Structure 1
Amino acid sequence: MANKTVKIDVEYLTRVEGHGNIVIDVKEGKIDKCEFQVVESPRLFEGMLRGRSIFEAQHITSRICGICSCGHSLASIQAAEDALGVTPTEQTIKLRKLLLDYEFLDSHVLHVYLLAAPDVLGVPSFVPLVKTHNAVVRRALRMKKLCNDVCDILVGRHVHPISAIVGGFTKLPRPKDLDAMLEMLESMRDDMAETLALAKTLQFPDFYRETEYVGLVSDDEEYPLLMGDVGSTDGKRLGKKDYRQATNEFIDPRSSAKFAKWSRDSYLVGALARFNLNSDKLHPTAKAIAEELGLKPICHNPYLNTVAQVVEIVHCYEHAIDLIKDLKKNGINYDEEIVVGVNEQQKIPVRAGDGVGAVEVPRGILFHNYVTDSNGIIEQANCIIPTNQNIANIEYDMMKLLPEILDQTKEEITLKMEMLVRAYDPCISCSAHYLNVKFVE
């Protein structure tokens, strides 16, 4: 509507993690302001790391997020090993990949079922679904509990893992543990089938905005989540040491979070970016599911990030089962188990270094960078979170979407704006509530 005037003030976005505002001001059809403002207080984790041993870093940084604890631990460990010159064994890499699979399953199930699905099922949150879609809620909680349980077996606990450390693991899974994890995952097949059936019924807005997609890329045949270079759909590729050239963080006074850009004014990280970059490397079953769901690269609809998450649920599920079967077949080398203070020969010598970790977590590529002195004490630390990299892209999506939906009702505009933000599965800090949009005309 050419002459429509709308003022939208969303104070403290909810049903997302952390504190952020949406501010939109449209006067007679002209957009005067369309901003996504992050007003979260600084977390100061980088400052907390300075002066601490590099061997403590993964336990500190896992506290950044209760959902991505394992991802932060793995990025931290990778950065520490890079600084210290440690090369993990093939067995350690397999177990770390398994841990990432578990984290992706846990996080994506949470988002698809409890954060995104209520929007398309016509309810304000997952709570009403207890009555209207009881089986759906029970399935979601059952799947999430199972993901937590297999994580507990592998690393002691899912939130703030214990046994994954620099150099490997302090406790390696025994044969009975591998059997238990495999049996638990196999027991989830019916729930996986129902998840896919649900996904086929979810209808998302038809919206298109071309942007740059950034994530890990690799020459290996495997879908890269743990290791690789930093690549983009604009044809750029850098080693992880050059991550600053890709992220180009900058400050805007209206936000307490930094913004990022690479080839364009913004870029997108997360499930959709990974799919657009590496869909040919997905597990065959996940490829088939993507085709069933109509998801094809390169997809420029940010709402379909949730659909890409469903595809990754299938990939990580099948990949985890394959990894466990491989570990069972080849056996575990328990000589690699690190018992701190006992097997002294496995102590890692410290040195001055500058290490970078680049790991995909559910919401996108995560960077940790530590500079250490000759005693292994951290002098500088830098952590670049996926949501910070997405903030500018969210705002550009909002600016394109708004004029396309101005002729709709307030309720329809509200829902589409809420869904757009939630599609990114933002993790501004660690809170989760319901998004409330207020209109003032």
Structure 2
Amino acid sequence: MVTNKFIAKIEGHGELLVDWKKNKVKLKILEGERLFEGMLVGRTCEEAHWITPRICGVCPVAHHIASVKAGEASLNIVPNKTTLLLRDLMTCGQHIQSHFLHLFFLALPDYVGIDRGTELAKKDPVSFKRAIALKEISDAIVFLVGGRNVHPMTTTVGGFHKIPIKESLKKLLQKLEKTEEAAQKTVEFFSGLEYPELKVDLDLIAQAPRGTKLPTGEESNEDCIITVASNKVREGKFKKSPVRFYKRDFEEEVKDYSTAKFARYKKREVLTGSLARLAAFEKDYRKFVKPKFIEQIDFENPFHNNFAQAIEILYFHKKAQNIVNQLLKGRLDPTIIKPKANPPLKGIGTVEAPRGGLYHEIHLENKKGLKPGKNSLIVYANIITPTVQNLTSIEKSAETFLSQKKHRSQKQAERMIKMIVRAYDPCITCSVH
């Protein structure tokens, strides 16, 4: 018998098709294809980062920065330190924005016996108040750097049209210091939840930008992708591959029951997002988060992705304070860097979005006598989103749960499979970009 169930409390619309006899699960994406890659062709390099954030209202900053970075790579532009710090700061705000929304309003109802996130205001007003505080501070971060709290407008290829003044940064730092307790208590709260038991054989996958200290101890000399088997994290058996080979390593598959592609990385199902970042860069997280919380994480259990998101709320909150302090100590450089001579006219922009690794690639027109620049037209675009990578492993996780026979009834199994889907925090509108 096959049942068809709509999945509530996720970003977008999807259904579960469960074949109970064969223990097979299909995640049917219901939203139409949006064709953003085709939309970029014929537009200028400078227009890309205005268009791609409209892929997603939950993580527009990630798409925005990925497109800017793709443009800079294609024009051989290396931004200055102020620009890089401000982008990192805005990304911190983006992660907190997305994680608090998913944790408190989409995932938490499964664990505390409520139907929807808004009921939390009555069930647990203290936690609800913390969620609102996190909403306010994350919006404030993105607003200060990006000009508004959704779909940034100050960024340009090579820098910023406008950067914050130090007085505004000081006020933001005060707000961060006042809301740090809300972030800390969020970690404590989610550490105390009872997560269902599940062991899934997956690869965890995260990006390591150039200059990053890798889990192996060496420093990355170019943008890399770090992978580790979920049951080998504590053994430190990490592998790396250059981002420039991402199209070779990712294999996207079209399935007849879905409008989204399903991806594998080097033939393996992967989990990307908070759990993977925590696995790859645990040492960095320990600088801002108490080790006892990190040591509770089970990297083989996708349900722990929610706990990892809570840890990241505190991590990115403290990282934001650190970045603001760096900006206050140095000189703020508003310079917008111009393209260098003989640029490659092809570029890849990578960002760790809240849900995992995001990849944007563009190629610019190469016409004789035409000077390359921000107004060069895009002739090719490719985007791989985190949810496209996670869809394959969501199905595998659900099937693994069924095969481990931890459920007492079909009704309970349906509930648990929906919880597995929500644990991955899928963004359906990103998946059908």
Fold match (TM-score > 0.5): yes
Query: Is the contact made by 2:90 and 2:141 (CA closer than 8 Å) also made in structure 1?
Result: no
Query: Is the contact made by 1:108 and 1:310 (CA closer than 8 Å) also made in structure 2?
Result: yes
Q: Name the CA distance, whole Å, in 2 between partners of 1:305 and 1:407.
A: 21
Equivalent in the alignment of 2:224: 229
Q: Name the CA distance, whole Å, in 2 between partners of 1:112 and 1:230.
A: 26
Structure 1: tracts of 5 or more residues without a match: 1-5, 339-344, 432-441
Equivalent in the alignment of 1:341: none
Q: Secondary structure of 2:326's partner? A: helix
Query: Is the contact made by 2:95 and 2:313 (CA closer than 8 Å) also made in structure 1?
Result: yes
Q: Name the CA distance, whole Å, in 1 between partners of 2:245 and 2:327.
A: 34
Q: Name the CA distance, whole Å, in 2 between partners of 1:122 and 1:418.
A: 15
Task: State the Cα deviation string for residues 348-380 of structure 1 (Å, max 9, x = none).
Answer: 889661110111000000000001113510001
Letter in 1 for 2:48: A
Q: Name the CA distance, whole Å, in 2 between partners of 1:200 and 1:397.
A: 22
CA separation of 1:198/1:316 partners in 2, compared to 1, >3 Å: closer, same or farther? same
Identity %: 31
Task: Indicate which of 272, 276, 290 corresponds to 1:273.
Answer: 276
Paired residues, what number?
409
Equivalent in the alignment of 2:330: 330
Matches within 5 A, 1:344-423: 353-374=345-366, 376-405=376-405, 407-423=407-423
Query: Is the contact made by 1:54 and 1:372 (CA closer than 8 Å) also made in structure 2?
Result: yes
CA separation of 1:283/1:228 partners in 2, compared to 1, >3 Å: closer, same or farther? farther
Query: Is the contact made by 1:215 and 1:273 (CA closer than 8 Å) also made in structure 2?
Result: yes
Task: State the Cα deviation string for residues 297-336 of structure 1 (Å, max 9, x = none).
Answer: xx110000011111111211111101111111113124x2
Q: What is the CA-CA distance between 1:192 and the residue it aligns to?
A: 2.0
Letter in 1 for 2:351: V
> Is residue 2:8 matched to residue 1:17?
no
Q: Name the CA distance, whole Å, in 1 between partners of 2:296 and 2:51.
A: 41
Q: Secondary structure of 1:388's partner? A: helix
Equivalent in the alignment of 1:200: 191
Matches within 5 A, 1:29-428: 30-31=22-23, 33-217=24-208, 220-221=212-213, 228-233=223-228, 235-288=238-291, 290-291=293-294, 294-295=296-297, 299-334=299-334, 336=335, 338=336, 353-374=345-366, 376-405=376-405, 407-428=407-428
Q: What is the CA-CA distance between 1:430 and the residue it aligns to?
A: 7.4
Q: Name the CA distance, whole Å, in 2 between partners of 1:390 and 1:134.
A: 33
Query: Could you tell me the TM-score, scaled by structure 2's length?
Result: 0.89
Letter in 1 for 2:316: C
Letter in 1 for 2:49: Q
Query: Could you tell me the TM-score, scaled by structure 1's length?
Result: 0.87
Q: Secondary structure of 2:288's partner? A: helix
CA separation of 1:355/1:287 partners in 2, compared to 1, >3 Å: closer, same or farther? farther
CA separation of 1:161/1:422 partners in 2, compared to 1, >3 Å: closer, same or farther? same
Q: Name the CA distance, whole Å, in 2 between partners of 1:221 and 1:317.
A: 21
Letter in 2 for 1:285: F
Q: Secondary structure of 1:366's partner? A: strand
Letter in 1 for 2:271: L
Q: Secondary structure of 2:73's partner? A: helix
Q: Secondary structure of 2:148's partner? A: coil
Q: Secondary structure of 1:248's partner? A: strand
Letter in 1 for 2:37: E
Runs of 4+ off more than 6 Å:
347-350
Letter in 2 for 1:360: E
Letter in 1 for 2:184: A
Q: What is the CA-CA distance between 1:222 and the residue it aligns to?
A: 8.6
Q: What is the CA-CA distance between 1:95 and the residue it aligns to?
A: 1.1
Query: Is the contact made by 1:212 and 1:264 (CA closer than 8 Å) also made in structure 2?
Result: no
Query: Is the contact made by 2:203 and 2:268 (CA closer than 8 Å) also made in structure 1?
Result: no
Give the stretch that moved more between structures: 413-422 or 379-388. Answer: 413-422
Letter in 2 for 1:41: G
Query: Is the contact made by 2:76 and 2:339 (CA closer than 8 Å) also made in structure 1?
Result: no
Q: Name the CA distance, whole Å, in 2 between partners of 1:49 and 1:125.
A: 37
CA separation of 1:129/1:200 partners in 2, compared to 1, >3 Å: closer, same or farther? same
Letter in 2 for 1:22: L
Equivalent in the alignment of 1:437: none
Equivalent in the alignment of 2:369: none
> Is residue 2:10 matched to residue 1:8?
no
Query: Is the contact made by 2:77 and 2:339 (CA closer than 8 Å) also made in structure 1?
Result: no
Task: State the Cα deviation string for residues 50-70 of structure 1 (Å, max 9, x = none).
Answer: 100000100100111111111
Q: Name the CA distance, whole Å, in 1 between partners of 2:85 and 2:15.
A: 41
Query: Is the contact made by 2:251 and 2:266 (CA closer than 8 Å) also made in structure 1?
Result: no
Structure 2: tracts of 5 or more residues without a match: 230-237, 367-371
Letter in 1 for 2:349: G
CA separation of 1:407/1:364 partners in 2, compared to 1, >3 Å: closer, same or farther? closer
Q: Secondary structure of 2:428's partner? A: coil
Letter in 2 for 1:353: L
Query: Is the contact made by 2:261 and 2:388 (CA closer than 8 Å) also made in structure 1?
Result: yes
Task: State the Cα deviation string for residues 71-119 of structure 1 (Å, max 9, x = none).
Answer: 1011001100001111111221111111111111111111121111111
Query: Is the contact made by 2:76 and 2:340 (CA closer than 8 Å) also made in structure 1?
Result: no
Letter in 2 for 1:330: G
Q: What is the CA-CA distance between 1:157 and the residue it aligns to?
A: 1.1
Q: Secondary structure of 1:161's partner? A: coil
Q: What is the CA-CA distance between 1:282 and the residue it aligns to?
A: 2.0
